[in-house]
Chain A
Amino acid sequence: MLKIVNEHPQYILAKVEIAEANLNYSDQFKTELVSLLKDKGRIVLLNMEQVTYVDSSFLGALVAGLKHALGAGNDLALSGLQKDVHDLLKLIRLDKVFKIYANEQAAIAALDQ
């Protein structure tokens, strides 16, 4: 459910290939995300444009990934959030812990600086 799109020396671009990101996927997603962070040892940028819904278990998996990344001196950033998903992150203040970019291009531009 996590597809690597581009491997850059400083970061990895990966696409989340699920529409309804719920409890059924959160465990597997967390495993994939954490192993990606471990294997690559770089900033991971997730393209979330396919995701129309996230439930709390999936948010938990994203935060677990972020904690893992920060603990290893890296980061986990999000891009292409659909409005509902972005609104939910803002509602519960997770927009303050994740770097969020409008789209992949904007994220790359910021990461390349």
Chain B
Amino acid sequence: MSIGISKNILLVDDNPLFLKILSQALTTAGFSCHTAKSGCEALDSLKAFKPDVILSDYEMPGMNGLEFRLQVLQIDSLKEIPFLFLTAHEDEGIMYTGLNLQAIDYVLKTTPFDVIVAKLTNLLHTVSKQREITEREIRKTVAALNIKTVPAAMPQLNGFDVDFWHRSYQNIPGGDFIDFIDTNNYLFVVIGDLMGKKWKAWFYTFTYLSYIRAAIRFSVITGNSSLANTLQQINAVVCQDEGLADILSSLSLVRIEKTTSRVIYSGAGDLPLLHYRPDVQELKQVKSTGMLLGVLPDGFYTEQEITMAPSDELYIFTDGLIDISSGGQQKTDYRYFANQMSGYFQLGQSFNDIKYSLQQQAAGFTDDSSIICIKKNSKHA
């Protein structure tokens, strides 16, 4: 079995001795075992724990294995977990009923433990392989539809260097999105995070991006110079689109005016930007007021100008970067990330160095992670 396949199992059996011995054999084989002595106890532990496979006894007092299976099938988030029955003897009638309940297999209790372990190991390996194939298919579909949620190239802009780093969690497109919209007078920098990575995330992301692109293009055509207004329009459309009900997104929108080099910013439920001023070695947070897109019909959007001196750097990023794992526990810590950035600047590191460091840490990230750097050229007045 390849490294990295998750092996959490829930064992359900009313016989404590059998439970103990099987659990020991599986633990030795690298499984992480949770045990329950009844269907009720198992359902209770499933409220806080999602195993990769469930192995349940058939004959149990109170709720029997079939009833337990029926309950599991009622719960959307659990019904896809591979389920196997344990039985004391071969009974075709029971097997038939069980297999109709989408149980993958039967294991006789008289089966040697090493065979049970091998069966479960093979099963998890197959599930993991199948998931890989499905993910590959999604990536192929998205590529074929030419749906890009991050741009292929960096924008060219007189007076500024714009660069970004993006890492898609588990390599599935969707979640975070980035876009650069170049018009005659402006460059719009767009970065957002669709909340919750799901299989269909790329579809919703594409819908969001389409609205955002359209609203920005319209604002340019109609001469609407208010970024806050543009955000409000995007939000209004999102709130009215039934297909996006309960799909929320953060958005940071920065507009750079080509002739004046003015930088205007408006945000929707995004993290405060970081503005680094190397002349005074100061790292400042830039906060917006707006609500996540899709929450309320009025999102309280405002805009502000960010005054950037030559060599100043502006960083816009998504929440995957502020999640840290500490002592086996997951934490969200904006200040930790800001301090980390501050440390890079004190060492005189460039965005290329920062990208390299992020790349080194990326295997530990548990969500999409994206960061854009807008740097004002030193020679630019």
CB of B57 within 8 Å of the partner chain: no
- Quick one: given A1-B47, A97-B296, are A91 and B272 in contact (CB under 8 Å)? yes
Shortest CB–CB separation between residue A62 and chain B, in angstroms?
A: 10
Shortest CB–CB separation between residue A17 and chain B, in angstroms?
A: 6
Q: Which residues of A contact B291 (CB under 8 A)?
A: 93-94, 96-97
CB of B372 within 8 Å of the partner chain: no
| Cβ-closest chain A residue relative to B333 | A84
Q: Which residues of B contact A88 (CB under 8 A)?
A: 319, 332, 334
Please measure, in the bound complex, the distance between the C-alpha atom of A25 and the C-alpha atom of B291, giving whole angstroms.
Answer: 24
Please measure, in the bound complex, the distance between the C-alpha atom of A93 and the C-alpha atom of B48, giving whole angstroms.
Answer: 28
Please measure, in the bound complex, the distance between the C-alpha atom of A59 and the C-alpha atom of B296, giving whole angstroms.
Answer: 15
Within 8 A of B (CB), among A13-56: 17-18, 20, 22-28, 30-31, 52-56
- Residue among A18, A60, A64, A88 having the largest count of chain B Cβ atoms under 10 Å: A60
Please encode chain A, from 72 to 113, with 1 for each CB lying within 8 Å of some chain B CB and 0 for all others.
000000000000110110011110110000000000000000
| Cβ-closest chain B residue relative to A52 | B329
Do B332 and A53 have beta carbons less than 8 Å apart? yes
Do B329 and A63 have beta carbons less than 8 Å apart? no
CB of B270 within 8 Å of the partner chain: yes
Tell me whether chain B's interface is mostly helix, strand or loop, or mixed: loop
Do B292 and A94 have beta carbons less than 8 Å apart? yes
Please measure, in the bound complex, the distance between the C-alpha atom of A18 and the C-alpha atom of B48, giving whole angstroms.
Answer: 6
Do A57 and B197 have beta carbons less than 8 Å apart? yes
Do B295 and A63 have beta carbons less than 8 Å apart? yes
CB of B196 within 8 Å of the partner chain: yes
Tell me whether chain A's interface is mostly helix, strand or loop, or mixed: helix
Which one, A25, A85, A87, contacts B77 given CB within 8 A?
A25
| Cβ-closest chain A residue relative to B299 | A93
Within 8 A of A (CB), among B247-296: 247-248, 250, 269-272, 289-292, 295-296
Do A52 and B295 have beta carbons less than 8 Å apart? no
Please measure, in the bound complex, the distance between the C-alpha atom of A87 and the C-alpha atom of B271, giving whole angstroms.
Answer: 11
Do B246 and A64 have beta carbons less than 8 Å apart? yes
Do B295 and A28 have beta carbons less than 8 Å apart? no
| Cβ-closest chain A residue relative to B239 | A67
Do B269 and A94 have beta carbons less than 8 Å apart? yes
Please encode chain B, from 325 to 350, with 1 for each CB lying within 8 Å of some chain A CB and 0 for all others.
00001111110000000000000000
CB of B76 within 8 Å of the partner chain: yes
CB of B13 within 8 Å of the partner chain: no
Do B367 and A97 have beta carbons less than 8 Å apart? no
Shortest CB–CB separation between residue B290 and chain A, in angstroms?
A: 7
| Cβ-closest chain A residue relative to B77 | A28
CB of B129 within 8 Å of the partner chain: no
Shortest CB–CB separation between residue A100 and chain B, in angstroms?
A: 15
- Quick one: given A24-B50, A55-B367, are A92 and B196 in contact (CB under 8 Å)? no
Please measure, in the bound complex, the distance between the C-alpha atom of A25 and the C-alpha atom of B289, giving whole angstroms.
Answer: 29
Q: Which residues of A contact B163 (CB under 8 A)?
A: none
Shortest CB–CB separation between residue A2 and chain B, in angstroms?
A: 9
Do A97 and B295 have beta carbons less than 8 Å apart? yes
Which one, A24, A52, A64, contacts B331 given CB within 8 A?
A52
| Cβ-closest chain A residue relative to B49 | A24
Please measure, in the bound complex, the distance between the C-alpha atom of A62 and the C-alpha atom of B335, giving whole angstroms.
Answer: 24
Shortest CB–CB separation between residue B260 and chain A, in angstroms?
A: 30
Please measure, in the bound complex, the distance between the C-alpha atom of A97 and the C-alpha atom of B331, giving whole angstroms.
Answer: 23
- Quick one: given A18-B48, A55-B323, A93-B269, are A28 and B332 in contact (CB under 8 Å)? no
Contact surface of A with B, Cβ cutoff 8 Å: 1, 17-18, 20, 22-28, 30-31, 52-61, 63-64, 66-67, 84-85, 87-88, 91-94, 96-97
Question: What are 23 A-B pairs with beta-carbon distances under 8 A?
Answer: A1-B47, A17-B47, A25-B77, A27-B76, A28-B75, A28-B77, A31-B76, A52-B329, A55-B366, A58-B196, A60-B246, A63-B246, A63-B295, A66-B295, A67-B295, A84-B331, A84-B332, A88-B319, A88-B332, A91-B271, A91-B272, A92-B250, A94-B292
List 13 extra interface pairs beyond A55-B367, A92-B271, A97-B291, CB under 8 A.
A24-B77, A27-B76, A27-B77, A53-B332, A55-B323, A60-B196, A63-B246, A63-B292, A87-B334, A88-B334, A91-B271, A91-B272, A96-B300
Would you list the 3 A-B pairs with minimal beta carbon distance, nearest first? Answer: A57-B196, A60-B195, A28-B77
